[in-house]
Amino acid sequence: MILASRSPRRHQLLRMLGLDFDILPAKIEENLDQTMIPSKLVCKLAIRKAKYIADKKPVSQVIVAADTIVVHQGSIFGQPADISQAKQMLRTLSDSEHHVYTGVAFVRTDQSGIISDKTDFFERTKVTFGSLTDHEIEAYTKSNSPLDKAGAYGIQDDWGAVFVSRIDGDFYNVVGLPIHKFYLHLKHFAPELLSNKYLQDVQTD
């Protein structure tokens, strides 16, 4: 399996599942079209990433790609471009609700490196922020941690977790990969990859 992502959080989640994979980040321009339905946007971006790697002609591989965005009152946030934008995102999210969308794409290449099968899905999670002070935002953004995270915060292994007062849905979706849906789709798309000691007895329906 090839993971088309440089995200250390996604790397960690796949390792947690005992999956073997190579890392080959996709280099695409992530244009966040504010007019698109968020669920369609994240799936479109995930598919583009997977196809980018498939075009490199890896032979007989399963390619996994993902994209995460934050949606607040109709506005779509990706990763902040700089500290100033990160601060603005956090001020906007303060004391309000937003939704985190992650799109995931699976692509299979055949022995010629041609795409032979593909599928995609998305997950949505509602997150509620407490009220953030300017001092808290300033302190958090000084770490530069928000710069590689959609919505300018992390919910795991990160001080940004203290901002979250409530979560409704899949926690791991906010981390960057909805583990439950990922497992269900992988079980049908590429059951041969589920070969670690926990999953040797898994049978597809």
Please give the positions annotated as active site: 67
H or E element, residue 85: helix 83-93
Which helix or strand (DSSP H or E) is residue 8 part of?
A: helix 8-16
How far is Cα 7 from Cα 85, in angstroms, rounded to an integer? Answer: 20
DSSP code at position 105: E
End-to-end CA distance of the chain: 22
Distance in angstroms (rounded) separating the CA atoms of residues 146 and 140: 8
Q: How many CA atoms lie within 13 A of 152 on its CB side?
A: 26
Residue of 127, 44, 35 lying closest to 75 (CA atoms): 35
> Any idea which residue has 């790609």 for tokens?
65
